[in-house]
Amino acid sequence: MKEIKAFIHWQRIAAVIGALKAAHVEAGGPPHGVRNISVTSVQSLLPVLDSREQHYSMDLAEPVIQEYKLELLWTTRGPRSSFR
């Protein structure tokens, strides 16, 4: 089993989740593939290419962008695992 954590742009999160679900089906479903998906909205201090994505956080006193933190468990047991 592998634990994966990633910060994903707000415009990409739906496509990433869809791809993970498709990979889970392709892997044969339980006990193979994606398990325990968790998605959390976060604010990032990363520089942006487009200033329209950025807003000022009063709590942090910094310009921020919205991203999502994706955490999941990927079961890799057996020959049917599609994650490498």
Interatomic CA distance for residues 2 and 7, integer angstroms: 17
**Could you tell me if residue 70 is inside a domain?**
yes
**Could you tell me if residue 17 is inside a domain?**
yes
State if pTM tops 0.85: no
User: How many other C-beta atoms are found inside a 10 Å radius of the C-beta of residue 81?
Assistant: 15
**Could you tell me if residue 81 is inside a domain?**
no
Please give the tally of structural domains in the chain.
Answer: 1
| pLDDT at residue 56 is higher than 90 | yes
Supply the pLDDT for residue 55: 92
**Could you tell me if residue 67 is inside a domain?**
yes
Supply the pLDDT for residue 69: 97
What is the domain extent for residue 49? 2-75
Supply the pLDDT for residue 5: 94
Contact yes or no for 42/2 (Cβ under 8 A): no
**Could you tell me if residue 27 is inside a domain?**
yes
**Could you tell me if residue 84 is inside a domain?**
no
